[in-house]
Amino acid sequence: MIEQVLKTIFRYNMLPDGARVGVAVSGGADSVALLHVLHRLSGDRTWFIQVLHFNHQLRGAESDEDWRFVEELSASLGLQCSCASADVRAAACGANLEQTARQLRYQFFSGMRDCHKLDVVATGHTASDQAETVLMRLLRGASPDSLAGIRPVNDRWIIRPFLDLTRDEVREWLCAEGLSWREDSSNSENCYDRNRLRNEVLPLLRSRWNPKVEGALARLAGMAARDEEFWQSSVEAVWKEAATRNRFGLVLNARRLRSEHPALQSRVLKRACAEASGAPPRISNEQVDRLMRLVSQQEGDGRLSLPGLAAWRSFSQVLLHKRVVPFVKPEAVVLTAPGVASFDSHGPSVHARKAEIPADAYNEDGRLLDGSLAPGPFWLRPWGAGDRCGLAEDGEDCSLHGLLQRRKIPAWDRIAWPVLEWQGQVVWARGFGVAVGWRAGPGSAYPIEIAEEPPVARR
């Protein structure tokens, strides 16, 4: 068994010599065996081992006994042990208990990783756990990428050295070595989905269909993981061309995505949801399909609600943003000349400063406002539905809404699109410059330059 663990470690480059590894030990057979195996291998490879134990407080005194067992085991091996506990049931507040327990447990691992400067944290997941995960996802309607199941290395710091061993192989080794472990009484309770699979479904599959069903499911996961590695290079190439960030969230180029195969589109969209939410969202295949339809439509707009996110289509762009992002028009502010103002802390500031007109200037400059016609002060405000001004190339008085539509400015950017108003007239608008009738010409006595400065450059 130790040879198999070494093969797994080398195959995935989990633990180079001198690595600092945290070993997650619950007290159960798999994690206890993992600790013993890594401890035996650590001497020649100069691994530093830190034992990590998290008490979920789900089994009362039995959970406390697990804690004591892990501390005593660590001490017997001369290893440091870091423990923590949390009332998982209270933290779940009626939500999925298993998911809450996993979230709190991995938060603890992450904190210990930083505290002890660990390179990786090893968990005792086996091929049996892999089989249960794959089967559970199949029964719930998994997408092909999710069939990869439990990864040997996840997020570059969670490793699973036992993933090529079954649960029975691990227990046989413990018994042969005369090593003890703790049994979790809740593993026999079929109130949990995984326990029902482990105690009822898999034994039935072994007896009726395939005595080596665990290995078959684990191989399926391995093939799915291999295929996903191939897909990721294609995802990365499309991502660089189709995804950008703005202050609201993540923007996707729908026209670029439409040119790709749906299999690649779905993977890009899943990554987009993860990036926009900051964590892998629990997005269903049906929700991915709905998002693909929003992206694939030729024209128009639309909105879609997703777990923790919202999607907003405008022209050929799709914005993925957290639901808490407010889309409200800011209040108008006064801009004097000279002066600087901004009504949006995330947007650019608008400067009004005295300018010089070049001696050889012939045409009126769209950057320069004739201060003798409109000396200010001005109102810097977001555009309104009834705004009209001579901003078209031919100088024709037209609606700003029509100009924004013509430029295909997405709806979320139009919300706080800045204009300058003087005595009820729009004299300047972002992207269009000074209105034709208000531009400074060669004979202007008081030209005012209107310019924007990006927020990143402001102090």
DSSP string, 288-324: HHHHHHHHHSSS--EEEEETTEEEEEETTEEEEEETT
CATH code, domain with 302: 3.30.465.60
pLDDT at 13: 94
Do residues 82 and 116 touch, judged by C-beta distance below 8 A? yes
- CA dist 303 and 311 (Å) reads 5
Please give the structure tokens belonging to residue 134. Answer: 């794959």
Please give the structure tokens belonging to residue 376. Answer: 């200010």
pLDDT at 457: 44
Do residues 419 and 428 touch, judged by C-beta distance below 8 A? yes
The verdict on 297 and 349 lying in the same domain is no
Q: From 158, 187, 221, give the residue that closes a domain.
A: 221
How many domains would you assign to the chain? 3
Cβ of 240: how many Cβ atoms within 10 Å?
Answer: 9
Please, which contacts does 233-241 make with residues 24 or more away whose CB atoms are closer than 8 Å? Answer: 234/264, 234/267, 235/264, 235/267, 235/268, 235/271, 238/264, 238/268, 239/268, 239/271
Q: Assess if residue 268 is contained within a domain.
A: yes
Do residues 122 and 94 touch, judged by C-beta distance below 8 A? no
Q: What is the pLDDT along the chain (459 residues), one digit of tens a residue?
A: 999 999 999 999 999 999 999 999 999 999 999 999 999 999 889 999 999 999 998 888 999 999 999 999 999 999 999 999 999 888 888 777 888 889 999 999 999 999 999 999 999 999 999 999 999 988 888 788 888 889 999 889 999 999 999 999 999 999 999 999 998 877 777 767 788 888 899 999 999 999 999 889 999 999 998 898 889 889 999 999 999 998 889 999 999 999 999 999 999 999 999 899 887 667 888 899 999 999 988 777 899 998 889 999 999 999 999 887 678 888 999 999 999 998 877 777 999 998 887 655 555 567 899 999 999 899 999 998 888 877 655 556 678 888 898 889 999 999 889 999 999 999 999 988 898 888 888 778 889 999 988 765 443
- Residue 315, sorted as left (phi over 0), alpha (psi -120 to 50) or beta, turns out to be left
* β-pairing verdict for 368-370 and 447-453: antiparallel
Do residues 49 and 38 touch, judged by C-beta distance below 8 A? yes
Q: Assess if residue 146 is contained within a domain.
A: yes
- CA dist 423 and 431 (Å) reads 21
- The residue among 257, 332, 268 whose CA lies nearest residue 298 is 257
- 3-state secondary structure at position 56: coil
Please give the structure tokens belonging to residue 383. Answer: 């555009």
Do residues 332 and 381 touch, judged by C-beta distance below 8 A? yes
- CA dist 21 and 48 (Å) reads 6
* β-pairing verdict for 333-335 and 317-322: unpaired
The verdict on 355 and 396 lying in the same domain is yes
φ/ψ (deg, to 5) at 350: -110, 125
- CA dist 170 and 176 (Å) reads 10
- CA dist 237 and 421 (Å) reads 45
Please give the structure tokens belonging to residue 352. Answer: 């009004």
* β-pairing verdict for 398-399 and 368-370: unpaired
- Residue 314, sorted as left (phi over 0), alpha (psi -120 to 50) or beta, turns out to be beta
The domain in which residue 287 lies consists of: 246-322
CATH code, domain with 131: 3.40.50.620
Please give the structure tokens belonging to residue 74. Answer: 């660590």
Do residues 268 and 231 touch, judged by C-beta distance below 8 A? no
Do residues 403 and 392 touch, judged by C-beta distance below 8 A? yes
Q: From 274, 290, 322, give the residue that closes a domain.
A: 322
pTM above 0.85, yes or no: no
Q: What angle do CA 297, 300, 305 make, to 5 degrees?
A: 75
pLDDT at 459: 39
The verdict on 194 and 301 lying in the same domain is no
The verdict on 27 and 131 lying in the same domain is yes
The verdict on 105 and 175 lying in the same domain is yes
pLDDT at 185: 78
The verdict on 371 and 405 lying in the same domain is yes
Please, which contacts does 293-301 make with residues 24 or more away whose CB atoms are closer than 8 Å? Answer: 294/318, 295/252, 295/254, 295/257, 295/258, 295/265, 295/269, 296/254, 296/257, 296/258, 296/265, 297/254, 301/411
pLDDT at 391: 67
The verdict on 405 and 439 lying in the same domain is yes
Do residues 220 and 131 touch, judged by C-beta distance below 8 A? no
The verdict on 363 and 297 lying in the same domain is no
Alpha-helical segments (H) within 297-444: 400-406, 411-414
